[in-house]
Chains A and B, each alone.
Chain A
Amino acid sequence: DAKTTQPPSMDCAEGRAANLPCNHSTISGNEYVYWYRQIHSQGPQYIIHGLKNNETNEMASLIITEDRKSSTLILPHATLRDTAVYYCIVRSGGSSNTGKLIFGQGTTLQVKP
């Protein structure tokens, strides 16, 4: 699975959009980009995933560049409850590795009032 690079920390004002970048320059054609987050001392929570196209759900939007070498997770209106560590993970779509995620250090997002 491709390696990802994320900034260690970011701040965001409450109510503003939070844009979290992720570089995955070695991503291959069948690898998906996943985003999870972990609020302090809880289990990680799935946010969104994508392969090629931009994706949106009730939590966030995922923008993937055309060359797929980087992506951005967008939380449109950040709240204090969005303060968490955000993990960008790249993994192939094969079923043999369903449960195996390689977590990096992630980005600690601090939403401030």
Chain B
Amino acid sequence: KAGVTQTPRYLIKTRGQQVTLSCSPISGHRSVSWYQQTPGQGLQFLFEYFSETQRNKGNFPGRFSGRQFSNSRSEMNVSTLELGDSALYLCASSRDGGPGANVLTFGAGSRLTVL
């Protein structure tokens, strides 16, 4: 079956612009999470969406936002870009079958460079 698809894979923006990244989860997966990876901070959790609602949020400023659509596809947006937003943005999906172990499947990521 198809994996988690993220678009675009690479993009370059300038400071002050905004960017929207897209994530299509594995069919049947209802939970979508976003992560930021930088050399200095490592992998950090941004937020998680489930049934079109934000269920968890990491410690990031309000410039980082997201949403989930009825088909479970998700987008994240970063407004007023800063140089420090340059990172690999990863999306992960999960079936979320209830209590117990839940395995995340990650996409290949979107690499954002802010100039």
A: which residues have CB within 8 A of B?
32, 34, 36, 38, 41-46, 49, 51, 87, 93-105
The CA-CA distance from A42 to B107 in the complex, in Å, is 8
Q: Say which residue of B35, B43, B102 sits within 8 Å of A98 (CB atoms).
A: B102
Residues of chain A with a CB closer than 8 A to B109's CB: 41-43
Given A41-B88, A44-B43, A45-B106, the answer on whether A99 and B98 have CB atoms closer than 8 Å is no
| B50 with A101: CB separation less than 8 A | no
Nearest CB of chain B from residue A78's CB, rounded to whole Å: 22
Cα(A44)–Cα(B3), bound, Å: 13
A93 near B104: Cβ-Cβ < 8 Å: no
Docked Cα-Cα span, A71 to B51, in Å, equals 34
The verdict on A51 contacting B55 (CB below 8 Å), with A43-B109, A101-B45 known, is no
* CB-defined contacts of A101 to chain B, threshold 8 Å: 33, 35, 43, 45, 104
* Contact (Cβ within 8 A) A93 B90: no
Q: Min CB distance, A84 to chain B, in Å?
A: 13
Q: How many of B's residues come within 8 Å of A, CB to CB?
A: 34
* 11 contacting pairs across A/B (C-beta < 8 A): A41-B111, A44-B106, A45-B106, A51-B101, A93-B101, A95-B100, A98-B102, A99-B33, A100-B33, A100-B58, A103-B42
User: Chain A: which residue is nearest B105 at the CB level?
Assistant: A46
B32 near A99 with CB under 8 A, answer yes
Q: A42-B108, A96-B55, A101-B45 are in contact. List 5 more A-B contacts (CB 8 A).
A: A44-B43, A96-B56, A98-B48, A99-B102, A100-B48
Closest Cβ of chain B: how far from A55's Cβ, in Å?
A: 10
CB distance from A22 to the nearest CB of B (A): 16
Would B90 and A44 count as touching, CB distance under 8 A?
A: yes
* Contacting pair B103 A46 (CB below 8 A): yes
By a CB distance below 8 angstroms, the chain B residues around A46 are: 103-105
A32 in contact with B101 given A43-B108, A98-B96, A100-B33 (CB within 8 Å): yes
Those of B82-97 within 8 Å (CB) of chain A: 88, 90, 92, 94, 96-97
Contact B45 A102 (CB under 8 A): yes
* B31 cross-chain contacts in A, Cβ below 8 A: 98-99
